[in-house]
Structure 1
């Protein structure tokens, strides 16, 4: 990355603009000509896919907000009005609802790719932390969006999750009332959640900007985890990776479109198509699928530990599950980034991935019998992976020898 620009304005208009707002120079240096490792695979396209998903959610969200009424007496009917009476409303609502699930599919793949290839290791800790903050804010935004249709799951989900705050000693009840705008879920709650659900995506977009900026300081990580040593290790971002990203976006949009046009409601809970009723409790209160792993961790702690009761213990465990992600750069101190060259790490990593899928499944099951035992086991392994496995492996594992450069790795494959 040269400090001296190679950009030359191609016309008088470009020259005039460049002297006042060098936006074309900036895009050419930092986007089009940005030197990118030549060995990035398709797992690296999910960053661009996520930017696309965020754009889709913001645009469809703004349109939906024009027709939505954040009032407990009218919210449910206003969603039905959007579906039935607004021109293109059914498609826009379906794109927004399905888009939330597709966003999380891409987000989880993006994060698990980072965990496998060590994208959180020095000098990329800030990139990773910003990414985890985006994830946490996206979880909060998605939860608040789930409340807006004001169906049975919306109402009871808000009731259950808001009760989490009351578990916090001393200030918990006050925080709960501040979140709800009263003593129970009601009109002030819906207004608060609507306001925040509308605002937070713009905050997320700003942090995404920081995330990308932070990425452009050390540059991309890559599948072998070896830093760029010479110019022949890289290619320009455009056209090589812009084309690859665009192809991946089109492929990703195929299942996205299938859900929108053929099964727009399949990812939602049937009870959420019944208007909220504070007098009728659903048989099983569950959040959307993408929140289930952390819901399982919350429910798994159903026992007291010393002076910490089970309710507070569950809240601490769920919060701790997110904190683990924030501090993982300091838990895994292995000098080798990529899991490709870490034989022991691979086994524990894939067990962690399976464990995460199991947590998702268990969150949708009733909290009884074998499900509660499995939830405890899976929750235990989640924390063991971060607090025991990663630090211990960093000290005892003997990694495979690394290629001396990206070019050696790429050319070695070509000649194999």
Structure 2
């Protein structure tokens, strides 16, 4: 939702991308809050993902191969979404992050260099790269939603794991209200933490280099 509002004011052009983000933060009504919630929300999302993975490893959820494999694909999709999103503000870290990460694909045998140039849309990270990364950042979340639905579908087929590692079919309780209220409490705690971070220390998780416009020569 925050991304939709940001997209209304963002321009995916290397000459105006950085200034459009500054415009959102300075001139758009509550644009600073929307941008801070969006950026820090992504960080919180990854914190939750890593906690979820840790829980899965601890409880042995990797034994449910279909659910686990879809989860791995889901993690890769989310990482791709976050990566292309990180490039959009077009600061120094955005530019050099895009350059370094995309150059890793040059290690692919035979087609590596051609693959990198195809992703760049030229011979370096440039305007075409930013435009297509903006498109990918809009489209990939739909793939994430689809993979999440598939992940949940396989989870319902196998059932979730538990601390004792035993089949709990014989001793179950209703989801509502026993778990729904716990989920609501967890959601509220996360929302308060995210809002507090966005309001009081929005740049805590950011990189200082990204407050400087991208410069390929520096």
Q: Normalising by structure 2, what TM-score?
A: 0.97
1:235 aligns with 2:173: yes
> What does 1:376-415 correspond to in 2, within 5 Å?
none
Q: 1:262 aligns with which of 186, 189, 200?
A: 200
> What does 1:5-404 correspond to in 2, within 5 Å?
59-121=1-63, 124-230=64-170, 233-280=171-218
Cα distance in structure 1, aligned partners of 2:37 and 2:105: 32
Partner residue of 1:318?
none
Cα distance in structure 2, aligned partners of 1:153 and 1:228: 48
Cα offsets for 1:247-303 (capped at 9, x unmatched): 1111222321221111111111101000001111xxxxxxxxxxxxxxxxxxxxxxx
Q: CA, structure 1 residues 229+278, in 2 after alignment: closer, same or farther (shift >3 Å)?
A: closer
Larger radius of gyration: 1
Cα distance in structure 2, aligned partners of 1:229 and 1:91: 45
Cα distance in structure 2, aligned partners of 1:272 and 1:174: 29
Cα distance in structure 2, aligned partners of 1:263 and 1:229: 46
Q: For CA contacts below 8 A with separation 6 or more, give which structure has more relative contact order.
A: 2
How many residues get paired? 218
Cα distance in structure 2, aligned partners of 1:147 and 1:84: 20
Measure how far apart 1:237 and its partner are.
Answer: 1.0
Cα offsets for 1:173-219 (capped at 9, x unmatched): 11001110011010000011100011101110111111111111122
Query: What is the root-mean-square deviation of aligned Cα atoms in Å?
Result: 0.9
Measure how far apart 1:62 and its partner are.
Answer: 1.3
Cα distance in structure 1, aligned partners of 2:169 and 2:138: 44
Partner residue of 1:292?
none
Cα offsets for 1:9-54 (capped at 9, x unmatched): xxxxxxxxxxxxxxxxxxxxxxxxxxxxxxxxxxxxxxxxxxxxxx
Cα offsets for 1:224-263 (capped at 9, x unmatched): 1101241xx1011111111111111112223212211111
| Greater mean deviation of Cα atoms: 106-115 or 213-222 | 213-222
Cα distance in structure 2, aligned partners of 1:213 and 1:162: 33
User: Which runs of 5 or more residues in structure 1 are unaligned?
Assistant: 1-58, 281-416
Cα distance in structure 2, aligned partners of 1:90 and 1:78: 12
Cα distance in structure 2, aligned partners of 1:83 and 1:251: 26
